[in-house]
């Protein structure tokens, strides 16, 4: 008797539950557990208000485990409807494996430039499988008080840049530039790929390198190493053993004047530094040259090909192409800039400074990320070592170009 009652009650609850769940619930897989509050309090309510009938759940996992967790969930068929995409090969492998749906034809896609979409496309750009969310921009953050004290104008050209460094060094109160080579990646990411696009003319050079029309031994690819070689004397004493957190601390403590940066530093620096900061973009060779900035695609959202709620998922992806989403996301996370073509007003002055360069300069992404780091030796990892060697002066730019070129040519057909 009791058991019958219980089963009746259970049965009743499923019916009731079913009625309540007429709403579609979308689940988002992500590695951005830092952003949980932002999604729950801001992004999801905004979406749900605009799209009644669709509920969204944000279920992040730890960044280091994300790829492994996601792969096993996809294989087991238990992954969420929307999947946060890492740039380039990691997501491409998911698309090739049939886990990500082709969303090239979604109307939201029209709001993104080709560069923005490049990180989540097949090599021939025929299919796009993730809606771009945000990028990080490279440049230099500087201590405004130090610049005012030493009466330095914000440098526009390379000559002005080195003149500024020289002035700071001669004064001796500040370390001219806060960067170390211990962790290696800063030298490549904030060094080579920060100043490089001005030499290889952004996308033009990057695509020519992928196509095999330019080589890493060409002047435009070697010159950034020669510029980096001049950085060594302006980094602090013992920069060889200086780590990334060391550099961040040196700058935010006000001991250094310039910090070669990525825009993701903005939030942390705003919290740490008690002086006013400004930003300038990578210097061009001659005044008036077209400038190029590294506007690196970092995060996107794709759709699980096996999702039972494809229609609702597409609605969400299209909403991500709107200026509403762009505005919410960019302002909640200053330093992660919307990749869409919408004008987004940023409240953070430093972030606004960074994003304003998009209007003046051509955008490109890091030269080593697409296709070129698929083989062994891995061009990105090799570039880390090469940039460090350039800064330390242990190898000349020409030698580094030759080494990298022979490594790339050993496995990449267009360069053979």
Partner 1 sequence: MKNSGIKWHVIVFLAPAVLVYTAIMIFPLFNTLRLALYTEVDQVRQFVGLENFRTLFGDPYWSGQFWNALGNNFWFFFIHMIVQNPIGIALAAILSHPRLRFAALYRTAIFVPTILSFVIVGFAWKLILSPIWGITPDMLKALGLKWLYAPYLGKEEYALTTLALISVWQFVGIPMMLIYAALLSIPEEVLEAGEVDGITGFASFWKIKLPLILPSIGIISILTFVGNFNAFDLIYTTQGALAGPDFSTDILGTFMYRTFFGFQLQLGDPHMGSAIASGMFGIILIGVCIYLFGIQTRLRRYQF
State which residue, 89 or 160, has the beta carbon closest to partner 1: 89
Least spacing, CB of residue 320 vs partner 1, in Å: 26
Q: Does 396 bind partner 1 (CB under 8 A)?
A: no
Task: Please identify which residue in 132, 262, 321, 385 interacts with partner 1, judged by CB under 8 A.
Answer: 385
Rule CB under 8 A: say whether 181 interacts with partner 1.
Answer: yes
Contact between 132 and 330 (Cβ < 8 Å) = no
User: Which residue lies nearer to partner 1 by CB, 50 or 90?
Assistant: 90
Coil, strand or helix at 160: helix
Backbone angles phi, psi at 293, to 5 degrees: -120, 150
Find the part of the chain contacting partner 1 (CB under 8 A) among 22-30, 35-43, 332-340, 385-393.
Answer: 385-393
Q: How far apart are CA 88 and CA 202, in angstroms?
A: 18
Nearer of residues 321 and 385 to partner 1, judged by Cβ: 385
Residue 251 neighbours by CB under 8 Å, 6+ apart: 141, 143, 178, 259, 269, 273
Query: What is residue 88's three-state secondary structure?
Result: coil
CB of residue 239 to partner 1, shortest distance in Å? 7
Q: Are 313 and 81 in contact (CB under 8 A)?
A: yes
C-beta closer to partner 1: residue 249 or 323: 249
Binding mask 76-115 for partner 1 (x = CB under 8 A): ------------xx--------------------------
Contact 96, 297 (CB under 8 A): no
Q: Which helix (H) or strand (E) holds 133?
A: strand 130-143
User: Cβ distance 337 to 355 under 8 Å?
Assistant: yes
**Rule CB under 8 A: is residue 331 a binding residue for partner 1?**
no
- Give me the residues paired with residue 359 across strands: none
**Residues between 250 and 289 that touch partner 1 (CB under 8 A):** 250
Tell me the closest approach of the beta carbon of residue 348 to partner 1, in angstroms: 28
* Burial class (CB within 10 angstroms; exposed 0-12, middle 13-18, buried 19+) of 322: middle
Is residue 397 a contact residue for partner 1 (CB under 8 A)? no
Q: What's the closest the beta carbon of residue 202 comes to partner 1, in angstroms?
A: 20
A 10 A CB-CB count for 332 gives 16
Residues that bind partner 1 (CB under 8 A): 88-89, 180-185, 236-243, 246, 249-250, 368-369, 373, 376-378, 380-381, 384-385, 388-389, 392, 394, 407, 410
């Amino acid at each position: 008797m009791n058991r019958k009652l219980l089963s009746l009650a259970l049965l009743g609850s499923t019916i009731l539950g079913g009625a309540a769940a007429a709403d579609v619930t979308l689940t988002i897989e992500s590695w951005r557990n830092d952003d949980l509050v932002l999604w729950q309090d801001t992004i999801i309510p905004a979406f749900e208000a605009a799209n009644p009938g669709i509920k969204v759940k944000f279920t992040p996992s730890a960044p280091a485990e994300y790829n492994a967790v996601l792969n096993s969930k996809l294989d087991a068929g238990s992954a969420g409807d929307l999947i946060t995409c890492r740039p380039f090969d990691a997501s491409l492998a998911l698309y090739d494996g049939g886990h990500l749906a082709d969303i090239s034809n979604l109307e939201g896609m029209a709001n993104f430039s080709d560069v923005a979409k490049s990180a989540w496309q097949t090599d021939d750009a025929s299919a796009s499988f993730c809606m771009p969310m945000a990028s990080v921009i490279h440049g230099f953050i500087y201590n405004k008080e130090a610049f005012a004290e030493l009466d330095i104008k914000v440098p526009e050209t390379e000559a002005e840049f080195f003149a500024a460094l020289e002035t700071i060094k001669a004064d001796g109160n500040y370390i001219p530039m806060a960067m170390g080579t211990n962790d290696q990646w800063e030298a490549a990411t904030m060094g080579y790929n920060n100043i490089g696009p001005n030499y290889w003319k952004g996308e033009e050079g990057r695509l020519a390198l992928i196509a095999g029309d330019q080589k890493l031994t060409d002047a435009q690819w070697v010159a950034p190493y020669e510029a980096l070689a001049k950085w060594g004397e302006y980094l602090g004493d013992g920069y060889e053993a200086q780590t990334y957190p060391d550099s961040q601390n040196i700058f935010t403590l006000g001991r250094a004047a310039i910090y070669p940066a990525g825009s993701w530093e903005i939030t942390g620096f705003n919290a740490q530094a008690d002086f006013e900061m400004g930003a300038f973009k990578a210097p061009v060779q001659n005044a008036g040259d077209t400038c190029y900035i590294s506007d690196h695609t970092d995060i996107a959202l794709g759709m699980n090909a096996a999702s039972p709620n494809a229609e609702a998922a597409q609605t969400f992806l299209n909403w991500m192409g709107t200026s509403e989403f762009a505005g919410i996301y960019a302002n909640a996370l200053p330093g992660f800039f919307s990749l869409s073509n919408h004008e987004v007003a940023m409240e953070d002055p430093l972030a606004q400074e960074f994003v304003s360069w998009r209007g003046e300069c051509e955008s490109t992404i890091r030269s080593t990320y697409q296709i070129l780091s698929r083989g062994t030796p891995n061009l990105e990892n090799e570039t880390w070592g090469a940039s460090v060697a350039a800064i330390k002066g242990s190898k000349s730019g020409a030698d580094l170009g030759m080494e990298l070129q022979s490594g790339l040519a050993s496995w990449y057909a267009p360069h053979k």
